[in-house]
Structures are given as C-alpha cells and as structure tokens.
C-alpha cells in the first residue's frame, strides 16, 4: 500500500534513521520520534496507519512505566493502527507487552533489513485491505443514507452528489435551502446516516415551534434552580446531539437575541447552561435549513450577518418540484407502491394520463404535496389504476382565452380560481411548444419566438425533459397549455 503513514519511536538516532529509510524505500511517509513523550506531544498532527515501537531497555518493569501507560492509552483510542514491536531477544516481557498493546508483530534486535521489510510489507498489505473495506463500508453507508432521496433529474443528481461529499467531510456547518416541502429534513437525515457520525444521535429541532422564552433553555440546557420552573438540571439539545448531528429546521425563525449565543457556540463549540458556572465542550455537526431568504433578512437587520455566514459554510439548495419534472414519475410510483403495501391494497398502477397530469401540475407544496396526493389517490382507488380525475387539483379549473399580440392568435389556459405561479405558465408553454415540435428545439424556439440558446436555458431552469414533452400532443394536434395550482 502506498501513501502509508508510519511513526517510529526509537531512542537511538542511527537506528531510527535506518528504519525511516526502509519505510521511504517502500514509498511510505515515515516520521521518527526519540521517545513516547515526544510522540504523544505530536500525535495529533497526523493519522498513522503503522507504529513501530522499539523497546529500549530489556528488563524494565512495563507495569509501572509511565511511558508504556501513555502508549497503552493511545492504542485504546487508535485500535486500527498496526503496531510492530522491536525488542531485545532477552526481553522477558515482550510477549506480555505485545498482548497489552495489541501488537501482532514482534521483531528481535538486532534486525536484518530484509526481515524488517518483509514484516512491514505484510502489515501494509493488511492496512490496505482494511482501507479498501472501510471505503466499501463508507459507500454502503452513503447508499443507506441516501436511498430514501428519490431524484433522477440532473439538478437533483447534483444536489445528492454535493450532499454525499459534504456528509463525509469535516465541515461542521451546512445550510440547506429550498421551498417548503422540498425534502430538506430528509436530506439532512440522509447526510447524517452517510457521515462518520451515523452512530451518534440525530436531533431535529423546529426552531419556529419553540416559544421564544424557552429557546435558550431548550438549546443550551439549564441548571437546577436557574429559574422558577427549573426544579432539576436539564441537558440542552446541543448536549443531546453530542457526537452526532443537530438539524435546525426553520433557523431563520430564531429570535434575534439568541442569535449571538448561537454564533458563540459555533465559534467555540462550547455551551453555557442557563444558571451554569462553566463551559461544556460539545462535538456536533450543525445542519440548518430555511425556506426564507436569509440574505434579505440580514439586509433588514432581522438576522445577524456574522451568524448567516457561520451557518452557511456550505449551502445546498434543493430545487422546487416544478423545476425538476423528471422526478415526479419516480416519486409517484415509489410512494404508490409504499402506500398500497401499507394499506394492503395489492398492486395499484398509475395510468399514463395520470402521470402526465402530475407532470403538468406546478406543485406549490412540492414533494410533500405530491406524497399527500398519491396517498389520497391510493386510499380512494377501487379499480387498481389511478386516473387523473382522482387527483384533487383536477377540480375548480376555469378555462380562459388569452389574446396574444396578433388579434387572430389565442391561447387557452385552464386557470384555477386561486391563481397560478407565472413560472408555471412559462414552463407549460415551453412543454407545449416542444410537444408541438415533436421535441425539435429549433422548431419549438420558433413557435415561442425566442432563440435556441434562450430556450435551452429555460428548459434547464425548469427541469424540462425534451423527449418526455412529446407526450403532451397526440397525433400532432395542439392541446392547450394547462396550468393548475
């Protein structure tokens, strides 16, 4: 295995240098230390896969040796590091020391260079196998964490890939942004499960649901007697998440007076309980989420600028469902199977016209609304196939004829009584034009009287699949753009 990090603890400089040269000849990075104390003082600088420890004195009592105690404590914290002992052949305590420290390889001094190289190569091969196994386990954990996130559109694939990278990184502050119902909480939980902290707790906090007068106590805890109702000490949410992840949903709703204390925690990673007398260290990854424009809140002095940048070390934006139409079909099919199984209704299919109706609807409630619509349709279905009429948004539509620039041209829109997002109108017109042009972008651009580049930009913006849009026309006949809300 190349790129192996090796530490060498050897009192004699000449022997230490010889061992370092042997490691470097094998392509490994070696760092030498003259004593255990020197090694202990510098061990935080590098993660070592192999430790070579030379026991200098053959007859010393290892039970009472403070250096051995330090090394033993280090081994308890780093059990995966492979330990190689170099001992005098007359050392009676060698076997017991190897057992105590978990060393699988012992070499007697003086050692031949070929013997040392052979043993070290064997150890390196074992490290390589464990590293590959660890990488496979990491990828397996990532699949486990993200398997609930359904996304086949280009934009969602980019979101998932970014989330995977951030999940396994040391980044401790992540901001997930997006409209209500886009799945920010699900993505945060997936990132926790795919991270090295997956064995730790995942604490989800809805910041808007906690009364303002209790925010500080809920976040940081309190000591007994800190205030009238504090009859006993209480751990705060950050303490409860120690070693894991805390998810601050709707973080933009945190009271301005508490924002300074949250910023101090993010900078120091320590908390001060209400009524407490000391700082308590907390190791936690913070994932926050908001559907608000926090930058605008900063400009309006409703959210601290320094806290905004501290929370927003990495931003992951989940696009609304209307901008990733390609995800609607797989989400609908997955949840229809899930709800059908839960309700013991056997197999329930979604008709193609129903899928098209789902893809035309702008989904103001995003994925959450889609899931609710599918659950309702499965519950009420009695035929085994879901049709468009079974969707609640098929009601209360009003057909409107809109004149265009030329007096002779008209476009018909099914406009709901409570209105429709303008982006939804534009997306529907693009889908209709592509369908009319049988997927030909040049012809579709001509129908819309825009350039090819403009049309491609808007298709990417709205997540429109060029091929799928052909389904909106049958036999080349124009169907009016239908917008529903």
- The order of strands in the sheet holding 245-249 is 202-206, 245-249, 285-290, 173-177, 314-317
Q: What is the pLDDT of residues 239-295, one digit of tens each?
A: 888 889 999 999 998 888 889 888 988 888 888 777 776 778 888 899 999 998 898
pLDDT tier, 328 (very low <50, low <70, confident <90, very high otherwise):
very high
Cβ count within 10 A of residue 415: 18
- Same CATH topology for 322-394 and 398-472: the answer is no
pLDDT at position 17: 84
CATH 1.10.8.60 assigned to domain 322-394? The reply is yes
Domain 5-134: CATH architecture, name and number where available: 3-Layer(aba) Sandwich (3.40)
Tokens of 370: 């889609």
Pairwise CA distance, residues 377 & 156, whole Å = 26
Domain-by-domain residue ranges, the chain?
A: 5-134, 150-319, 322-394, 398-472
CA triple 250-461-364, angle to 5 deg: 45
Q: What is the pLDDT of residues 386-443, one digit of tens each?
A: 999 889 876 544 444 445 555 445 555 565 555 667 777 788 888 888 888 888 888 8
CATH class of 150-319: alpha beta
Q: What is the pLDDT of residues 10-51, one digit of tens each?
A: 888 888 888 888 878 777 788 888 888 787 777 555 567 778
Q: What is the pLDDT of residues 113-152, one digit of tens each?
A: 666 666 666 666 555 444 444 444 444 444 456 877 888 8
The yes-or-no verdict on residue 74 having pLDDT over 90 is no
Would you say 220 and 272 are in contact if contact means Cβ atoms under 8 Å apart?
A: yes
Domain 398-472: CATH architecture, name and number where available: Orthogonal Bundle (1.10)
């Amino acid at each position: 295995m190349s790129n192996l990090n090796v530490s060498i603890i050897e009192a004699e400089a000449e022997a230490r240098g010889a061992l370092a040269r042997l490691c470097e000849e094998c392509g490994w990075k070696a760092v030498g230390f003259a004593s255990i104390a020197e090694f202990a003082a510098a061990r935080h600088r590098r993660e070592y896969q192999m430790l070579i420890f030379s026991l200098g004195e053959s007859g010393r009592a290892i039970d009472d040796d403070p250096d051995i105690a330090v090394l033993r404590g280090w081994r308890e914290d780093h059990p995966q590091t492979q330990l190689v002992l170099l001992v005098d052949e007359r050392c009676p305590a060698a076997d017991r020391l190897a057992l105590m420290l978990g060393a699988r390889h012992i070499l007697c001094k003086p050692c031949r260079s070929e013997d040392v190289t052979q043993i070290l190569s064997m150890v390196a091969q074992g490290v390589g196998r464990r590293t590959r196994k660890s990488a496979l386990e990491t990828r397996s954990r990532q699949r486990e964490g993200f398997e609930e996130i359904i996304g086949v559109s280009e934009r969602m694939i980019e979101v998932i890939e970014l989330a995977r990278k951030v999940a396994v990184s040391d980044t401790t502050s992540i901001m997930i942004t997006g409209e209500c119902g886009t799945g920010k909480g699900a993505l945060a939980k997936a990132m926790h499960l795919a991270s090295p902290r997956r064995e730790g707790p995942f604490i989800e906090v809805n910041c808007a649901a906690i009364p303002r007068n209790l925010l500080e106590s809920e976040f940081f805890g309190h000591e007994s007697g800190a205030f009238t109702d504090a009859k006993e000490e209480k751990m705060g949410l950050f303490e409860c998440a120690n070693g894991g992840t805390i998810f601050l949903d709707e973080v933009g709703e945190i009271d301005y007076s508490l924002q300074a204390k949250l910023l101090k925690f993010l900078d120091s990673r320590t908390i001060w309980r209400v009524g407490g007398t000391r700082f308590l260290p907390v190791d936690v990854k913070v994932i926050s989420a908001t559907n608000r424009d926090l930058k605008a809140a900063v400009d309006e002095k409703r959210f601290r600028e320094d806290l905004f940048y501290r929370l927003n070390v990495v931003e992951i934006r989940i696009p609304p469902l209307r901008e990733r139409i390609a995800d609607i079909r797989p989400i609908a099919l997955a949840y229809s199977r899930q709800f059908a199984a839960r309700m013991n209704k056997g197999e329930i299919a979604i008709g193609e016209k129903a899928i098209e109706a789902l893809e035309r609807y702008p989904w103001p409630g995003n994925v959450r609304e889609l899931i609710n619509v599918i659950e309702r349709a499965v519950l009420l279905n009695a035929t085994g196939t879901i049709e468009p009429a079974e969707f609640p948004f098929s009601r209360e539509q009003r057909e409107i004829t809109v004149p265009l620039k030329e007096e002779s041209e008209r476009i018909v829109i099914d406009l709901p009584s409570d209105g429709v997002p303008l982006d939804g109108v534009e997306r529907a017109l693009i889908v209709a034009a592509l369908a009319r042009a049988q997927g030909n972008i040049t012809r579709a651009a001509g129908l819309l009287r825009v350039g090819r580049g403009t049309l491609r930009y808007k298709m990417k913006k709205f997540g429109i699949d060029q091929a799928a849009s052909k389904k909106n026309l049958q036999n080349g006949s124009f169907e009016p753009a239908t917008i529903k809300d």
